[in-house]
Chains A and B, each alone.
Chain A
């Protein structure tokens, strides 16, 4: 087994510029008691680690660091687990390089 240093995604996101649309999250998780396998997959698959498990074992999202890749939409929109839209015009991540 090779031991790997944990990756701190927060540090990575710190490089980026965002214009957060406070109060208008563009991705929403449907209320649930037990998360589906698709929702659970997002905990690992989201490159910005926007999805987290709360103390009750439900999957929650904080969209502030979202880099708008669409991965969660591809995985969990078909099952109705999440609702995914683009942020309002001008909001969200602002790549300087891309």
Chain B
């Protein structure tokens, strides 16, 4: 007869701590070129502008910009400046860090539809200057709060966050 095969045993945390194991701490480092379209977008951010592109075929105005339209599969070369205001498409109030540690102050990530882009076209960013996160609503108007010009580096973080716009 064949020996029995083990179905799997769940280790308790302390058993795991004590279990025989080896550790590996890789130091993985990468440098990503932004590419043509996003590179130009980042240059715009450095100047305090949100740039979009328009597809000549489907006429969609898109942000983040891209070098080609994934819908029409044609190159895109028409650039335009969008507003730095927009509408909250959806949001969350996040109480945990990326490795699931509790945050003291919650973060409010949101998809923000940018004014001047086609309807429903947005970017991921965070909301700030929010008195009470409970008051954040889908459909709320928001405006970018920029880093001081000298501190901008041409990165998505040149926008610190979006703040609620007074009605």
A binds B: no
